[in-house]
Amino acid sequence: MKNILTFILIMAIEVSIAQTQYLDSIFSEVNKTTHVFNTHKNDSLQLDYYIASEIKEQVPLLVYVHGGGFSGGQRDSDGIVAFATKLAQHGFAVASVSYRLTMKGIGFGCNTKTNKKIEAIDAASHDVGIAIKYILDHNQEFNIDKSKVILAGGSAGAEAVLNMAYVYEDNTLPADFKYAGVISLAGAITTVDKIKHETAIPTQLFHGTGDILVPYGVAPHHYCKSNDKGLLMLYGSAPIAKRLKGLGSPYYLYSITGGSHAWAELPLTKCFSDIIDFLYHDVLYSTSIRQTERTINTL
């Protein structure tokens, strides 16, 4: 009996040792704190910060940006809270960020002028950049690895983070700062021409081929008609992946045949293991350039 108990104890220790931070869920208690990072016209912009209480060392930071057509959405929706908590249990720090909803009461459809749409995307990008600067400036409190800041977002949030990674430019962050990676859930950008070898970063793209709001390929946003004042051509996940493939840069394209815009949220639960795989093997500990493409039918 004593030998059996000893064997069980040894096995339990070996299993515990075999667990790997960032790949496995190894922490239980997660602390969530809320911080005001900027104020704009009496509107306080906040971020929710998640980190396992046991962590003492600097860790990678994933910055998540919610969707909602730049007119709505919440940084603390049930799905985002669950996703951020789960990532924190794997050892990551997570910041879920609010931004100015400049299209509130206006909408982001075909009747909204194109320049207003671009301004909305840029405004969100600027606000998220301010949030990241706030964390970097107060890193004695947050304790993140500044070289491992990853962007992620869904729908409008995905458009914002892709814009930040590849199109938008301002002087909010230090000149030598570079994002470690970007994850887009049903997102797109206004051009792929700015994705170059020196600017390319590990990029994960989830997108339904049947998305009628944000195109999987190259098409107008919301598939507006050529005479609509809100015509905005977008390059979705497929052309972004094609561009990265041609540059020999790492990417992970996850295509859902016939999938709708619901895939702006579904990967947070249905594809969590793919996100972890990308973060670990393509962003944190890349030993080779992977160009991964997965295609599934609608789940």
What DSSP line would sit under 43-108, residue for residue?
EEEEEEEEEETT--S-EEEEEEE--STTT---TT-HHHHHHHHHHHHTT-EEEEE----TTTTT-S
Q: In whole angstroms, what is the distance from residue 217 CA to residue 255 CA?
A: 11
**Confidence at residue 7, expressed as pLDDT on a 0 to 100 scale:** 46
Picking from 195, 147, 161, 202, the residue whose alpha carbon sits closest to that of residue 63 is 161
Name beta bridge partners: 255.
207, 295
Res 2: pLDDT: 54
CATH number, domain with residue 77: 3.40.50.1820
Residue 190 belongs to a domain: yes
What's the pLDDT score for residue 3? 55
Q: Which tokens belong to 84?
A: 């951020």
Q: Is residue 17 part of a domain?
A: no
Provide the token pair at 4: 């059996």
Domain span at 250: 32-297
163 within a domain of the structure (yes/no) = yes
Locus of tokens 């789940």: 299
In the block, tokens 């997108």 appear at 207
Amino acid at position 245, single letter? K
pLDDT at res. 166: 98
Return the number of other C-beta atoms located less than 10 Å from residue 117's C-beta. Answer: 24
Residue 16 inside a domain? The answer is: no
Sequence-distant (≥ 6) Cβ neighbours of residue 251 within 8 angstroms? 202, 203, 204, 205, 240, 241, 244, 245, 291, 292
Token representation of residue 86: 């789960």
β partners of residue 24: 21
Is residue 8 a part of any domain in this protein? no
Report if residue 2 sits inside a domain: no
Q: Is residue 40 part of a domain?
A: yes
Residue 85 confidence (pLDDT): 98
Residue 13 lies in a domain: no
Below-50 pLDDT ranges, the chain: 6-16
Q: What is the pLDDT of residue 298?
A: 76
Structural domain count of the chain: 1
- pTM for the full model? 0.93
